[in-house]
Structure 1
């Protein structure tokens, strides 16, 4: 300017903010305030809330899941799945009528054979081996049954339709049912009784 002084900084470029150079450091950001600590009561409330949410989720999942056990039909009654068959006499006891009896489980669940009995007062029944015995699904068991004459006057002169009472149990029910073992069993049992009781009544029945 004519007659005057230049203003400060005139003729020089504008200086921007000073950048940090080599060996210099920029100021650190202020530290974050520490997270507030939960009180004991707040911790208990938070734990209770999480437990309630987990329980609600479990109940909701169970409500929408199909209950296969409730919807599946019960197994058949024991009398519907048990099969017994006479397998012929056994020579293990010549003083009595011993025979082999097979049992089979046709059902989808295990079947327990709890006991075997018969209705003639003059005969006593014994089963070799321990009872009860469990038959697996589609499983078999072979039993040795012995009938001894204890009273000839009460024993049948001719056992035309002899039967055994078997007590069975599965997850559906427990039943005692009568099993007729067929003509071969009746014939062999009658012959054994006639040998054990050789009196006139049995001789007459034998001769007919």
Structure 2
């Protein structure tokens, strides 16, 4: 027949692809694509509510624990470092206030002590370098000078040995021992010409001009 193909025969023969006959076709069926899948929901509404409640309770518990332990930590913690005040010699000023009633002393003066620093200053003692003179402060020591304040001391000097006292006090000084929260110091104060004149006059009045007088010296 004219519509049939002869198959090769014999060695080396092969069968090729079968072609559809004329006038025949196969309909193409198209499958619709599936809808895109929704992303999985991580947590449900109930799970989110439970998680938020748990976090809130945890924060509340930590806050209560911190409030309970705070007084103990505050008691055991070291105090904050405070700035040290200046040395007492740097914040204390002395002024000669003139003669004072002598009473049983050979000579007495008014000594004004001024504190310019931020801390209290204690006056612990007053002395001087002449071996023939003794110093006595009326009232009591120590005395406290408040910050920015002044006190007045009555300092009496008594001649105990004219041979140990100068004929003329050219540069007399007083040694004052001071203390504050930073240090304790002894400072020498020269109170000026008025104090030197008044002390020299008192020494001339208390002692005669014999040859046993110690000559004037400069400390």
My pick for the range that moved more, 88-97 or 149-158, is 88-97
Shift of 1:92: 3.9
Aligned to 1:73: 83
Shift of 1:139: 1.1
- Stretches of 4+ aligned residues off by more than 6 angstroms: 50-53
Structure 1 residues not aligned, in runs of 5+: 1-49
Structure 1 residues 107 and 94: alpha-carbon distance in aligned structure 2, compared to 1, 3 A threshold: same
Shift of 1:155: 0.5
Give the TM-score normalised by structure 1.
0.64
Structure 2 residues not aligned, in runs of 5+: 1-63
Aligned to 1:174: 184
3-state SS, counterpart of residue 187 of structure 1: helix
Shift of 1:157: 1.6
- CA distance in 2 between counterparts of 1:179 and 1:196 reads 24
Structure 1 residues 56 and 95: alpha-carbon distance in aligned structure 2, compared to 1, 3 A threshold: closer
3-state SS, counterpart of residue 156 of structure 1: coil
Aligned to 1:193: 203
3-state SS, counterpart of residue 87 of structure 1: strand
* Contact 2:127-2:175 at 8 Å conserved across structures: yes
* Contact 2:102-2:156 at 8 Å conserved across structures: no
Q: 2:136 aligns with which of 126, 134, 141?
A: 126
- CA distance in 2 between counterparts of 1:164 and 1:133 reads 17
Aligned to 1:85: 95
Give the TM-score normalised by structure 2.
0.61
Summarize the alignment of residues 5-154 of structure 1 with structure 2, pairs less than 5 Å apart. Answer: 54-55=68-69, 59=73, 69-70=80-81, 72-93=82-103, 96-154=106-164
CA RMSD, 1 decimal:
2.9
Looking at CA atoms only, which structure, 1 or 2, has the larger radius of gyration?
Answer: 2
* Contact 2:105-2:156 at 8 Å conserved across structures: no
Structure 1 residues 151 and 171: alpha-carbon distance in aligned structure 2, compared to 1, 3 A threshold: same
Aligned residues: 150
Shift of 1:68: 8.8
